[in-house]
Amino acid sequence: MKKPAALLALGACALTVAACGSSGGSDTTSDTVRIGLEGPLSGDQKVTGVGMLNGAKLAAKDLNAKGGIEGKQVEIVPIDDAADADTGVSAANAAVKDGLDGVIGPYNSGVGIKTLPIYEEAGLVPIRLTSDSDTNGMGFTLQPMDYQIAPVETKAMTDWLKARKVAILYDPTQNYTTSTAEAVKKNLEQDGVKITAYNEVQPGEKSYESDVKKALDTDPDVVFSVVYFPEGGLIAKAMYSIKPQARCLADYASNDPGYVTTAGKAAAQACPTGGVPAPEDFKDGPAFVAEYEKEFGSAPGTWSPYTYDSLNFLAEGVKQAGGFDSGALKEKLSAVKDWQGVTGSVTIDPSNGNRDPATVTINSVDSKGEFHVDEDWAKAVGAPY
């Protein structure tokens, strides 16, 4: 497995991993392949992290039943970053010191900007779940990026909600929320939409009613929040409590079961979110959901099928590359076209390691409190769902 000695190779090779690679791979004396799963396994976003971890564990179980990776059993190593960059750096360094062969995650872009270089310098090829473009080229991802998300959310407001005036509330402390808010604002203005408010909201508050009222005072057609789900749920709750004429839309970062729990079902139903299809809405989703529920006794999270696919994607790359050598592995993963996973067909853009195309949807909450693609949105914008 990758050992911390790789951190000492900080010359030209460390700066051009794809070109010179790393000898890496599993130790011949080890009978396991150690794959880290970095995510918010504690704190406000714990529900996201647990869903990610379980998705990876399920993939490991299925791989192990087929002989593992390189004939070795796969062990998932939890790496808790608590959605905090400093915590993530400490956790990533500790995991690398203990030895890893690969890593799935992290989820939060602001964390990934700090931790992904640690993994790459150790000779690993991360399969990240970050969506901010500042993480382009840091390994690979199977989920959508900000530049793929922003146009969908913009079109939802202009073509579906028919907005001509929009108030934006965003979290200024996170890379993803800042970049996405800026992109949507720019897109809306290019479409002739007036931005009536562009207001920062600080994460961790117990209520955002005053922020919502301030935004509503600008007379928008839509209040659009670009925050993670703990804050997004509270903003939706405030909107539902006030019951303004303005519509509510939450960004992709709120697309998580925790959003419904925080907002309450009725409030969540009144405020759709950007996102991805629910696990059961993918073609092979029902079988995945059934297996997941049997294994863990609960429904999968939004990102469970993505971490499941991420580990299988990595395993396929290792098979094609003949091992974990970073140069060979990057070469094989960069060339992936139409690889099939639970989340559908995967083709990688070799220029940045991102999935392209990547499915982005607008989701509504149903009577069971579950996310599904909003049919009215799909009809309004001509989306094939």
- Any idea what the CATH number is for the domain that residue 304 is in? 3.40.50.2300
**Alpha helix locations (H) across 227-284?**
229-242, 257-263, 265-269
Same domain, residue pair 347 and 372:
no
Q: Residue 385's pLDDT is what?
A: 72
| Both structure tokens of 378 | 């799909």
Q: What is the pLDDT of residue 2?
A: 54
Q: Are residues 180 and 218 in the same domain?
A: yes
pLDDT at 5: 35
Do 246 and 369 fall within a single domain? Answer: yes
Question: Is the pLDDT score of 29 beyond 70?
Answer: no
- Rounded-to-integer distance, Cα 178 and Cα 157, Å: 19
Confidence of residue 30 (pLDDT cuts 50, 70, 90): confident
pLDDT at residue 1 in the model? 61
Based on the fold, state whether residues 176 and 295 are members of the same structural domain.
Answer: no
Q: Are residues 86 and 59 in the same domain?
A: yes
What proportion of the chain, given as a percentage, has pLDDT over 70?
92
pLDDT in tens, 134-145: 999 999 999 999
The answer on 375 and 242 residing in a single domain is yes
DSSP, res 83: T
> Is the domain of 244 the same as that of 173?
yes
Claim to verify: residue 66 and residue 201 sit in the same structural domain: no
Helix-helix angle 175-190:109-121, to 10 degrees:
120
Q: What is the pLDDT of residue 87?
A: 99
In this structure, the answer to whether residues 163 and 207 fall within a common structural domain is yes
Q: What is the pLDDT of residues 152-204, one digit of tens each?
A: 999 999 999 999 999 999 999 999 999 999 999 999 999 999 999 999 999 99
Nearest Cα to Cα of residue 193 among 212, 225, 172, 168: 168
Provide the pLDDT confidence category of residue 384 given band limits of 50, 70 and 90: confident
Domain with 286, as residue range(s), is 4-144+282-352
| 98 vs 165: CA distance, rounded Å | 53
Tens of pLDDT along 68-105?
A: 999 999 999 999 999 999 999 999 999 999 999 999 99
Per-residue pLDDT at 11: 32
Q: What 3-state class would DSSP assign to 248?
A: strand
CA distance linking residue 28 with residue 279, whole number of Å: 37
Cβ-proximal residues to 32 (8 Å cutoff; 6+ apart), any chain? 26, 72, 73, 74, 75
The verdict on 22 and 80 lying in the same domain is: yes
Structure tokens at 105: 């995650």
9 in the same domain as 132 = yes
The rounded percent of the chain whose pLDDT value lies above 90 is 91
pLDDT band at 259 (very low <50, low <70, confident <90, very high): very high
Each residue of 42-71: pLDDT tens digit?
Answer: 999 999 999 999 999 999 999 999 999 999
63's CB contacts (< 8 A; 6+ apart) are 69, 74, 311, 312, 315
Whether 101 and 192 map to the same domain: the answer is: no
- 377 is written with which tokens? 């949105």
What is the tens place of the pLDDT at every residue in 305-355?
999 999 999 999 999 999 999 999 999 999 999 999 999 999 999 999 999
Locate 249 and state its tokens: 């839309």
Q: 350 Cβ partners below 8 Å, 6+ apart?
A: 334, 335
Average pLDDT, the chain: 93
- The answer to whether 86 and 108 are in contact (CB under 8 A) is no
Domain count, the chain: 2
Residue 7 has pLDDT above 70, yes or no: no
The predicted pLDDT at position 277 comes to: 96
